[in-house]
């Protein structure tokens, strides 16, 4: 096993741990989001219907807390997809064939997932606030609008890596056909 493969192996183990933790987080926050969707935003709209479910007409959670948990769910989902794609890239590196066109596509998918996850996190805040105003649900102090420049930069870096891997695949293909 070469040193390159050892590093790829170690990174694969780390990414597997990240994947598992993210998957568990995604599942737990997904269940919480579903519960809170019933208890908070819909509860304000169907106030009388959920009186027996909650015990009273006041929600235990604010819309701001719903937004924060929803953002955590989106982030965990993003981590699941990104870590699984990176593990696939590391498998090709361990196999000694990193410059495959599929790796370029994987990095492009990573960029798209990060981009759309950040857009979703930006969109959820005004939608939740509007829902709270329209249906008289308390918004609370949490769940404010925030822009994570690190993730946007990560999407840009993934796009650059996609082009690097695409060019590497093209050059490797040219070399294979050269006598």
Phi, psi of 99 (to 5 degrees): -90, 75
> Mean pLDDT, 10 residues at a time, over the chain (179 residues)?
71 94 96 79 51 46 85 96 95 88 95 96 90 79 81 96 93 81
Cα–Cα distance for residue pair 172/177, rounded to 1 Å? 9
- What is the chain's percent helix, strand, coil content, to nearest 5? 80, 0, 20
- By CB atoms closer than 10 A (0-12, 13-18, 19+), residue 119 is exposed
Cα–Cα distance for residue pair 104/83, rounded to 1 Å? 15
Domain boundaries, the chain: 3-177
pTM: 0.81
Tell me what pLDDT residue 57 has.
43
């Amino acid at each position: 096993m070469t040193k390159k493969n050892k590093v790829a192996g170690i990174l694969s183990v780390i990414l597997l741990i990240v994947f598992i933790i993210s998957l568990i987080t995604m599942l737990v926050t997904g269940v919480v989001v579903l519960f809170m969707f019933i208890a908070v935003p819909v509860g304000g709209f169907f106030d009388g219907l959920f009186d027996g479910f909650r015990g009273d007409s006041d929600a235990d959670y604010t819309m701001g807390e719903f937004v924060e948990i929803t953002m955590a769910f989106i982030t965990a989902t993003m981590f699941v997809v990104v870590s699984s794609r990176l593990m696939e890239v590391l498998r090709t590196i361990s196999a000694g064939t990193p410059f495959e066109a599929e790796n370029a596509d994987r990095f492009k998918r990573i960029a798209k997932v990060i981009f759309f996850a950040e857009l979703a996190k930006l969109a959820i805040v005004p939608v939740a606030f509007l829902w709270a105003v329209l249906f008289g649900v308390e918004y609370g102090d949490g769940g404010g609008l925030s822009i994570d420049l690190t993730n946007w930069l990560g999407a840009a870096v993934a796009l650059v890596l996609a082009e690097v891997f695409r060019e590497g695949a093209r050059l490797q293909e040219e070399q294979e056909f050269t006598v």
